[in-house]
Structure 1
Amino acid sequence: MVKRIPRRDPGAPKRNLSVYLMYQNAMRDTFKTQNPGMTFGQLSKYTSSMYAALPNAEKEGWILRASQEKLRYEMEMATYVPAPGYDAKGGIVACASPLRAMNLSPKDPNAPRRNISSYLLYQNAIRNILKAEYPGASFGDLSKLTSTRYKKLTSQEKKLWDERARLDKQRFDAEISNYSPPAGYDLVGKLIEESRRKGPKKRDPDRPKRARGSYVLFTNIERPKIFAENPKIGFTSLGVALGERWRAQSPEMREKYDALAQKDKLRFVEEMHAYNVQKSSEDAAREAEVLATCTNTSAMAMASASYANCEPMVKNVSEEIGLVEQAVYYHQATVPLGDNTAAPIMMQPQ
């Protein structure tokens, strides 16, 4: 497995921020609360305008903070020793890339070449012709020309390219069936990375829905109204309109939505309590089932072990009993009785 190396040394000192970034980070939550309907871009513009309107005395305070932050960074960097694979500033060295360090390419060079579609086969065949006809055309223009010409092909001509694509797929299937990937590559020759992005975590369908805030409840009611007034409104414009309507609400109306939000919060708390109780009981039942299975398995294992330990002893006793029976048999068969008649021959022990 190839592990992804962090782009920056985790042990490197945290970089200092500029004056504006320090102001932005400090005021972000405040501005979000004051303008709940603003998008990310609108909030950035609003922050910039608020920073530009700061009095000089306040700006000097932020400049002083930034100077102290820069001094902290320089002092920490003076004693910083970079880890292997990182430069003096904590950035990754180019040659420390896992692919270069292990001399592995993203695809095995000996892997079979993937098959391509009929359109790509046509595109590859006509590319040089179009370049000669339109020497000044850009990549996008050539793509449009290729698409236009491909659409104008007759059904018979398209069948020829479909047949070529089918043969190319047969070629790939035959080659990939005999392909043995080297270590570090999957069955089609792609590099296996340990840090491959995982899919989204599946949500438990029985888990209660989260509580909604007063603004969210307000938007759920007002959104259909805005769509009815302006069906073609865009997503950004919709957010702006909702924010404006929310800010225009009277304190009494806001209290109404706050009460609804509080009620929804209580609903969520109650449902989550019931959900957790149910999950705990299910987990306890599963644990008991597993414990019972393990107990039965352990008992069977102990019985098997006991039999295995006792089996040699039983076998030895059986052998000794057999030897005694054999001795009695032969003794009775050969030793004469008092009347000079031989003892009756007993049945030979089994």
Structure 2
Amino acid sequence: MSTQSTDNKKPEEPKRPLNAYILFAEDVRERITKENPNISLGKLGKLTGEEWRALDSESKKIYFERSREEQRKYNQKMQEYKEAQKENSQETTTSSEERIIMTRAARSRRRKKRAKKRKKKPEEKKPDLKKKLKKPMTGYLLWVKEVTPQIKSEFPKIRAWELSSKIGKKWKELPDSEKQVYLERAKELKKKYKEDLAEIEKQRNKTDSFSSDLRSESSGDSPNAPDDNSKTNTENVKQEKEQNTKDDQ
């Protein structure tokens, strides 16, 4: 009875590969939570996103290559999974393949929907200079940018996932005194970033104030402008008084 159950056991479907950003998030999660012990999930996600956006293209490339490698392994496992299903039963295989096709079709529809939303022409807005200002890199990312070329030079044929693993290991082994050098550099960059943000805000407020004054002048709302209605009413009262004086005479 148990043998039959084992023989008929369906093969486990392989898990989908992680994308480059999720791989990066897994690498930095432990460090971020260690630096911020009471951090919430929302704040953790925000900091992770900021670090990813600040990451230079060369470092991001490592994670994209790792993601492609995982995709390749997934495709291979998926092929083995389908073959195992065929061995169990043709009916099970057909059902599973239909499910996979439906899942992929659903994902495709979602991707097209998202792409359509992105293609919609946004309303004309004033350029947000804050968004153009690149966020400062963290101490860890400054170190990664510096150490990556060194490791690649030492191991020219190193694969992306191996490079990422070696970088993470080296950072953990780095003495606190050396880490502090990069953390201090990151503090200076953050300070400069905040100063630049404040200057952008100051300039924007000046521009908004100037535009508001121009609109007021063009609409004739100046406080010193004469009121035509008031002038007309005064003349009418004067004429009425003169007429009353003549009648009395």
Structure with the larger helix share: 2
TM-score, normalisation: structure 1: 0.30
TM-score, normalisation: structure 2: 0.39
Give the structure with higher Rg (CA).
1
